[in-house]
């Protein structure tokens, strides 16, 4: 057997290889190999006690799971708030603090810009879902609207007087009062239905004194002197009111541009009592045009949109872009009686068919 030399260099002097440390200077031989290998396989650092390691790992996994669940809860809560806000973006009043000629209180309307920012992410997600199901073709303006906030560059619109609260569709012609020819078919149909719609109002009208219980179908006043009865509210048909107003419902069914399938679409009677005034506010989007059919227009009534004054006429329609700042007033005497108009939300004539389909999908009424 071969032996290594001793430290002193004397042949024959030997020690057992397993007696020294690995890498020591003792002599060793081939029979010492198993021991050396056993020592080499020992861990350099001592092992962490397994019970302590399991406990720490469990705590870490629990903390990560709790953090993930909290994040999912916050994300879901924000989505639900945005969905509820989108569902409220309609009605015949549209201002943030009460009744106006532009729908129910709507998110992000003037005075509530934060609502529009909170819904922006939800609109983008719904639009992506629409594109996955159908296509991005023709979606350039809608995509920019979903990403860009409530106005051009996320700020105010034309001259600071056009401030749609929820959706600003870029590159649409913007005028406070839209020419009648832009929606000639629907305007002529509504005007020809004036007698039937006026009869329907007579059938559901009441004294509007406020001293008697609110009749069936009428919404609670959103501001003093402002009442409404809706046949469509935020894209949803109101069956009982439609049955009570067959002439008006028949006219709505014949319209080509009625915005009846998303939360921006409303139709119904709007009543303004003498002395009532609805201060300036803006509607939720510039993608719609509001058609006002005058039913009963006493003296002293005025509509100002984007700084331009106008007045209704019985049996005739006004087309209004209610995303402009607007004010409504009835300055007549109590003997003159209420001002009554039939309001219908129509698509803006320059919104293309593909864009209408996408917006109907994105702003579909809650199931």
pLDDT at 236: 96
Q: How many CA atoms lie within 13 A of 90 on its CB side?
A: 29
Q: Cα torsion for 79, 85, 87, 92, to the nearest 10°?
A: -170
pLDDT at 343: 98
pLDDT at 238: 96
How far apart CA 66 and CA 68 sit, in angstroms, is 5
Residues of the chain with pLDDT under 50: 1-26, 28, 36-37, 40-42, 44-46, 76-100, 102-117, 150, 152-156
pLDDT at 98: 37
How far apart CA 165 and CA 243 sit, in angstroms, is 33
pLDDT at 58: 85
Nearest to 134 by CA among 367, 357, 364: 357
Phi and psi at residue 326, in whole multiples of 5°?
-145, 155
Looking at the domain covering 180-363, what would its CATH class be? Answer: mainly beta
For residue 199, give both structure tokens: 């009869």
Looking at the chain, the whole-number percentage of residues with pLDDT higher than 70 is 68
pLDDT at 5: 45
pLDDT at 155: 47
Distance of CA 152 to the CA centre of its chain: 18
């Amino acid at each position: 057997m071969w032996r290594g030399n001793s430290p002193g260099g004397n042949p024959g002097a030997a020690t057992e290889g397993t007696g020294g440390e690995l890498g020591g200077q003792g002599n060793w031989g081939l029979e010492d190999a198993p021991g050396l290998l056993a020592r080499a396989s020992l861990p350099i650092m001592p092992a962490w006690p397994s019970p302590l390691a399991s406990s720490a790992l469990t705590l870490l996994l629990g903390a990560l799971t709790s953090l993930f669940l909290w994040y999912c809860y916050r994300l879901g809560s924000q989505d639900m708030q945005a969905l509820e806000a989108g569902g409220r973006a309609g009605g015949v009043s549209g201002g943030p603090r009460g009744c106006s000629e532009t729908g129910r209180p709507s998110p992000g309307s003037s005075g509530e810009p934060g609502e529009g920012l909170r819904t922006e992410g939800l609109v983008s997600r719904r639009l992506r879902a629409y594109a996955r199901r159908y296509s991005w073709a023709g979606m350039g303006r809608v995509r920019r609207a979903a990403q860009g906030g409530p106005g051009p560059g996320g700020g105010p619109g034309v001259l600071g007087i056009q401030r749609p609260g929820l959706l600003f569709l870029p590159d649409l012609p913007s005028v406070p009062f839209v020419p009648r020819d832009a929606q000639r078919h629907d305007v002529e149909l509504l005007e020809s239905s004036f007698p039937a719609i006026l009869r329907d109002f007579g059938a559901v009208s009441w004294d509007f004194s406020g001293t008697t219980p609110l009749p069936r179908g009428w919404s609670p006043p959103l501001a003093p002197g402002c009442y409404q009865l809706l046949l469509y509210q935020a894209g949803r048909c109101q069956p009982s009111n439609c049955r009570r107003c067959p002439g008006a419902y028949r006219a709505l069914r014949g319209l080509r541009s009625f915005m009846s399938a998303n939360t921006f679409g409303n139709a119904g009677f709007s009543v303004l009592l003498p002395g009532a005034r609805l201060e300036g506010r803006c509607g939720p989007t510039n993608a719609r045009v509001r058609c006002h059919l005058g039913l009963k227009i006493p003296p002293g009534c005025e509509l100002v949109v984007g700084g331009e004054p106008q007045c209704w006429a019985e049996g005739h329609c006004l087309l209004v872009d209610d995303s402009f700042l607007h004010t409504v007033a009835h300055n007549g005497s109590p003997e003159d009686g209420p001002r009554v108009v039939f309001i219908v939300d129509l698509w803006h004539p320059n919104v293309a068919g593909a864009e209408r389909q996408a917006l109907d999908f994105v702003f579909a009424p809650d199931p």
